[in-house]
């Protein structure tokens, strides 16, 4: 569920809430969700002070003053939710969501000082939270192979197109979902950016004209920036660091809009198809598969 804009929204929330807190205790209900040895947890997590919260691709990093970092991947249904003493009071708008935590999807609970808690919830147990030496984080397999950050100024359309060439026979949707090509695009922003660039998701990379690839690069940035501004996309599971919802899907053009008129062609209805093994949303009028003759 969470893609770059959702993870970035969580990061920004946690950054205002966590630094300065000390971790008093950690409990978990599932070794796969939190695989660290109890010895390391006692030595480097319990008693540690949180000093920073960073993000790379869809991965969150909570830095501790013990030179260790809590690395978190939310995968499909993960949530990181903070509950402080002040936000947990009668009448707070998020009480209904965070008031009843922990619940049966809570995998890890961190007890913080000042009567606060940090919950890692994950219905499907695909996500994980790992304690690693801060200096080792860039060396884990995922970090070594993940591609550039799409919102960094240093990442250019030219480099985007070059990196796409490694996947020239696959579909353009599979290529932008490939985290080694660029970081952070998931199913929602793949569909939204391809609609924006008027490219059919099943088009082979090598059949997409270069000017459309340039447009796609711009669209990826546009939809991600808009989504961050709207606090991300909440469909079912995603919530921000305080249990609140994101509103991007209100502004989405095709994702989960099957049967509704296309915003560019009111006479055409958005269709749901399958591309790269994923549910895929298109306007059949402005997104046509191009096949160049070889």
Partner DNA sequence: CACTTGACCTGTCCGC
Partner DNA sequence: TGCGGACAGGTCAAGT
Interface of this chain with DNA, residues 40 to 79, rule: CB under 7 A? 57-58, 73, 75-76
Binding segment for DNA (CB under 7 A), chosen from 9-17, 43-51, 214-222, 276-284, is: 276-284
Residue whose token pair is 């660091």: 241
Start-to-end Cα distance in the chain: 38
Active site residue 58: yes
Q: Are 120 and 79 in contact (CB under 8 A)?
A: yes
Residue 259: helix, strand or coil by DSSP? Answer: coil
Residue carrying the six token digits 């060396």: 139
1 binding DNA? (CB under 7 A)? yes
- Which residue in 5, 6, 8, 58 is the catalytic one? 58
SS3 41: helix
- Strand ranges (DSSP E) for 2-58? 23-28, 50-56
- Decide if 255 contacts 281 (C-beta within 8 A): yes
Which of 130, 278, 284, 285 is the catalytic position?
278
35 lies in the binding site for DNA (CB under 7 A): no
- Return the number of other C-beta atoms located less than 10 Å from residue 18's C-beta: 24
Q: Tell which one of 12, 24, 49, 125 touches DNA (CB under 7 A).
A: 125
112 versus 255: smaller Cβ distance to DNA: 255
Nearer to DNA, 241 or 276 (CB): 276
Q: Quote the tokens at residue 216.
A: 């796609």
3-class DSSP assignment, residue 123: coil
Q: Which stretch binds DNA (CB under 7 A): 43-51, 85-93, 173-181, 192-200?
A: 173-181
177 binds DNA (CB under 7 A): yes
Is the separation of the CB atoms in 173 and 205 below 8 Å? no
What residues have CB less than 8 Å from 152, skipping those under 6 apart? none
User: Site size for DNA, by CB under 7 A?
Assistant: 42
Residue 190, phi-psi category: left (phi > 0), alpha (psi -120 to 50), beta (remainder): alpha
* Nearer CB in complex with DNA: 53/188: 188
Residue ranges in 179-238 that form contacts with DNA under rule CB under 7 A? 179, 186-188, 232-238
Residue owning tokens 């970092």: 69
Q: How far is the CB of 265 from DNA (least distance, A)?
A: 23
Q: Is 258 a catalytic residue?
A: no
> Of these, 12, 142, 247, 286, which contacts DNA (CB under 7 A)?
142
The contacts of residue 279 (CB under 8 Å, 6+ apart) are 187, 272
Of the candidate spans 84-92, 148-156, 270-278, 282-290, the one that interacts with DNA by CB under 7 A turns out to be: 270-278
Decide: 185 and 149 in contact? Cβ < 8 Å: no
Q: Of 36, 79, 105, 203, which lies in the binding site for DNA, with binding defined by CB under 7 A? A: 105
Q: What is the pattern of x (binds DNA, CB under 7 A) and - over residues 150-169?
A: ----------------xxxx
* Smallest distance, DNA to C-beta of residue 230, A: 12
Burial of residue 242 (CB within 10 Å: 0-12, 13-18, 19+) is buried
Nearer to DNA, 9 or 66 (CB): 9
Is residue 2 flagged as an active site residue? Answer: yes
Length of the chain: 294
- Enzyme catalytic residues: 2-3, 58, 278
* Site residues for DNA per CB under 7 A: 1-3, 6, 32, 57-58, 73, 75-76, 104-105, 123-126, 141-142, 166-171, 174, 177, 179, 186-188, 232-238, 274, 276-279
């Amino acid at each position: 569920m969470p893609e770059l804009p959702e993870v970035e929204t969580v990061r920004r929330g946690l950054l205002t809430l966590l630094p300065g807190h000390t971790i008093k205790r950690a409990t978990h209900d599932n070794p796969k969700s939190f695989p660290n040895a109890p010895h390391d947890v006692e030595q480097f997590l319990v008693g540690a002070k949180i000093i920073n919260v960073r993000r790379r691709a869809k991965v969150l990093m909570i830095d501790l003053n013990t030179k260790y970092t809590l690395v978190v991947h939310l995968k499909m249904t993960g949530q990181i939710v903070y509950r402080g003493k002040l936000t947990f009071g009668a009448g707070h708008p998020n009480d209904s969501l965070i008031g009843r935590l922990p619940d049966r999807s809570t995998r890890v609970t961190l007890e913080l000082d000042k009567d606060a808690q940090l919950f890692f919830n994950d219905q499907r147990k695909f996500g994980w939270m790992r304690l690693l030496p801060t200096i080792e984080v860039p060396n884990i397999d995922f970090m070594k192979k993940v591609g550039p950050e799409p919102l960094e100024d240093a990442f250019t359309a030219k480099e985007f197109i070059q990196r796409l060439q490694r996947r020239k026979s696959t579909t353009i949707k599979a290529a932008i979902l490939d985290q080694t090509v660029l970081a952070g695009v998931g199913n929602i922003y793949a569909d939204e950016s391809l609609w924006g660039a008027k490219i059919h998701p099943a088009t082979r990379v090598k059949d997409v004209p270069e000017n459309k690839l340039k447009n796609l690069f711009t669209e990826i940035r546009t939809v991600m920036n808009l989504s961050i501004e709207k606090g991300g996309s909440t469909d079912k599971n995603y919530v921000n660091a305080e249990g609140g919802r994101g509103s991007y899907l209100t502004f989405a053009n095709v994702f989960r809009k099957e049967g509704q008129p296309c915003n560019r062609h009111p006479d055409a209805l958005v269709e749901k198809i399958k591309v790269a093994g994923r549910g895929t949303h298109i306007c059949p009028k402005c997104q046509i598969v191009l096949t160049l003759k070889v």
